[in-house]
Amino acid sequence: MARPKLHHTPEEKLAANREKSKRHYQRYKTEIQAKRSYKYHARPKKIEIIPADIPSEQNPAQSKKLIPYKQNPAQSKKVIPNVDRQLAYWCGRVERVAVKLEKSIGPSSFHHVDTVCTQYLSSHDKDDINDAIIKISPLQCSINRYQDEILQVSGVSEEWQRSEDVARSVREVIQNLEELLCTAMVGYDDLVSLHRAKKCMYQL
């Protein structure tokens, strides 16, 4: 007998996903904060470029008058004039995220996360997991934006549902990798035990 559906509308499913993420954060709050601190301090530092010295005074006669620039309408960026074209554009961006995700992780998110986990267990290097998270994170930022745009244009439609499917796939990979990293930061042996018992999030 099939299990009864708990959530019947996309809004209920979205709210349930948010609650699940919130519970996961509260459960692993300390580890997640430690991971974020680790990522912050591990990122490359920006180099400030100091411009060359500029004369403090300039002859007014030699200065050029700034004229507001008016762009030729023929040279302006292409404007999407109607809802259908806007929807088609954002749906195309969603499909690009789906393609990039498949190129990054392959056809199976389980095998990708399991490969990352096995690599860490062999190398003892948390950067193996952290690098995998950094590689996927930009896709989550992109799909969240595209999903919001589609919601504004067409509401909760078939196109929005497709974007939700792609967003869910991206979230699943990132959440599973973050869970691995949090456990690894608590202790190597803890992750070994969970992995052997098949109790890691991605194994459930």
Average pLDDT of span 120-149:
91
CB count in 10 Å sphere of residue 119: 13
* Whole-number pLDDT of residue 47: 46
Residues in the chain: 204
Of the candidates 37, 28, 3, the one whose C-alpha atom is nearest the C-alpha of residue 126 is 37
Using pLDDT thresholds of 50, 70 and 90, give the confidence band for residue 165: very high
- How far is CA 117 from its chain centroid? 20
DSSP string, 72-85: -GGGSPPP--SHHH
Question: How far is it, in rounded angstroms, from Cα 85 to Cα 191?
Answer: 48
pTM: 0.57
Angle at 190 (CA atoms; ends 44, 133), nearest 5 degrees: 30
C-alpha 142/C-alpha 45 separation (Å) is: 24
Residue ranges of domains in the chain: 79-204
pLDDT tens digits, 51-81: 444 444 445 444 444 445 455 554 444 444 5
